[in-house]
């Protein structure tokens, strides 16, 4: 396989701005789409939605539990509420409300978790969600997304707005490394294959996708051919493709901006241990709390770099050969 080496370039906009564009577009197309904020509109970038659709925007204040159950009530009357808070609060303050008022009650609520993982940066450990997918993944019927870049955000939001059910979308607020060209299409639940290679499969999500692509290039220089999957739907997992790649390459490395317990790595491990038990390593936060610092520092600190993915790839390849 030959391909151009990956050159990391940042997206032109902060992801929150691309998100708000997409939400406004969704609301223009569908009068049921409404916004609920919990006093984090400025941080999460929904201000332009409030300005464009004042009658469809509600800043309820710092009351996440109430916001979530109210959203459920609103959806009962036919609206499609998008509820916003930081990922730490959307997942932890609303857990029981997401379970009962939204999921168990069979309603239609869209939950946004901002400042995902290390992107919480200088807000520090109290605000750094490494467990949000873990908290929400065992709630029946939820779909969990981690959009990779602005192109994907723009593609996913209309789909999420139009499909009935409870969805959770975790996002960073700032601009991230651009992966996709405009016009790229995405199927929720289908991982995107970004590289083909027969030696090892790298399965990544969120900010770790660009690290996985850099890792694939580094491995290529050493003669190791890596397959790279962008697994932006954590639930439902793309089981067919993950099993197929695992069988083709015989070993797997996952990479996530999340605790290795409960998120993408856990989901892949659960799947493969039943369906295709191959050597696997999980790159991610190793069950420790977050802390303050610039995102780059935190990615080094928690081992979320291409070099960490490469090292894990070498280990699984070696285990495979034993």
Residues forming the site for other proteins (CB under 8 A): 34, 55-56, 58, 60-61, 63, 65-66, 68-79, 96-97, 99-101, 104-106
Nearest of 191, 189, 55, 44 to residue 120 by alpha carbon: 44
- What minimum distance in Å lies between the beta carbon of 82 and other proteins? 14
Nearer to other proteins, 91 or 101 (CB): 101
Nearer to other proteins, 106 or 277 (CB): 106
Of residues 75 and 201, the one with the C-beta less far from other proteins: 75
* Min separation Cβ 75 and other proteins, Å: 8
**Number of neighbours of residue 6 by Cβ within 10 angstroms:** 19
Closest CA to 104 of 141, 67, 77: 141
Nearer Cβ to other proteins, position 18 or 83?
83
- Cβ neighbours around 170 below 10 Å, total: 30
Contact by Cβ (8 Å): 103, 141: yes
- Minimum Å distance from CB 177 to other proteins? 38
Q: Name the active-site residue from 64, 131, 256, 281.
A: 64
* Residue 64 among the catalytic residues: yes
Cα gap 122→253, rounded to integer Å: 29
Report whether 93 contacts 136 (CB < 8 A): no
In contact, 91 and 168? CB cutoff 8 Å: yes
Residue number with CB closer to other proteins (102 or 234): 102
Helix axes 150-162, 15-29, angle to 10 degrees: 30
| Long-range contact pairs involving 158-165 (C-beta distance under 8 Å, separation at least 24) | 158/22, 158/25, 158/26, 158/29, 159/186, 159/188, 160/110, 160/188, 161/23, 161/26, 161/30, 161/33, 161/80, 161/82, 161/110, 162/26, 162/30, 163/188, 164/108, 165/108, 165/141
Which CB sits closer to other proteins, 66 or 248?
66
Shortest distance, position 215 Cβ to other proteins, whole Å: 44
What is the DSSP track for 237-280?
--HHHHHHHHHHHS-EEEEEEEETTTSHHHHHHHHHHHH----E
- Measured from the CB atom, the residue of 65 and 292 that comes closer to other proteins is 65
Note the Cα 133 to chain centre separation in Å: 9
Minimum distance of other proteins from residue 141's CB (angstroms): 12
**Which residues are CB-contacts of 140 (< 8 A; sequence separation ≥ 6)?**
103, 104
Q: How many CB atoms lie within 10 A of CB 141?
A: 13
Q: How far is the CB of 115 from other proteins (least distance, A)?
A: 22
Measured distance CA(289)–CA(96) in Å, rounded: 23
The minimum distance between CB 97 and other proteins, in angstroms, equals: 6
Task: Return the active site residues.
Answer: 64
């Amino acid at each position: 396989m030959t391909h151009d080496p990956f050159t990391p370039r940042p997206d032109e906009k902060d992801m929150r701005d691309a998100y708000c564009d997409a939400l406004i577009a969704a609301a223009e197309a569908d009068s049921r789409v409404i916004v609920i904020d919990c006093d984090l509109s400025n941080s999460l970038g929904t201000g332009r939605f409030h300005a464009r659709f004042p009658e469809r925007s509600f800043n309820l204040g710092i009351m996440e539990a109430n916001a979530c159950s109210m959203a459920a009530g609103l959806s009962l009357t036919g609206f499609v509420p998008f509820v916003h808070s930081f990922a730490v609060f959307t997942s932890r303050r609303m857990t029981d409300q997401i379970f009962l008022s939204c999921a168990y009650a069979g309603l239609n609520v869209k939950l946004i978790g901002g400042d995902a993982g290390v992107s919480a940066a200088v807000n520090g450990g109290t605000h750094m969600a490494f467990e949000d997918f873990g908290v929400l993944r065992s709630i029946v019927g939820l779909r969990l997304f981690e959009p990779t870049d602005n192109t994907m955000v723009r593609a996913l939001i209309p789909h999420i707005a139009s499909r009935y059910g409870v969805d959770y979308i975790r996002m960073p607020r700032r601009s991230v490394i651009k992966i996709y060209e405009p016009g790229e299409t995405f199927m929720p639940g289908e991982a995107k294959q970004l590289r083909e290679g027969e030696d090892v499969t790298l399965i990544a999500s969120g900010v770790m996708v660009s690290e996985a692509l850099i890792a694939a290039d580094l491995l290529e220089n050493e003669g190791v051919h890596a397959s790279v999957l962008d697994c932006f739907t954590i639930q439902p997992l793309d089981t067919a493709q993950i099993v197929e790649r695992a069988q083709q390459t015989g070993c797997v490395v996952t990479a996530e901006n999340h605790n290795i317990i409960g998120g993408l790595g856990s989901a892949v491990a659960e799947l493969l241990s039943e369906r295709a038990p191959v050597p696997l390593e999980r790159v991610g936060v190793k069950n420790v709390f977050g802390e303050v610092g610039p995102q780059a520092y935190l990615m080094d600190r928690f081992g979320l770099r291409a070099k960490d993915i490469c090292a894990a790839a070498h280990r699984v390849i070696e285990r495979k050969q034993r």
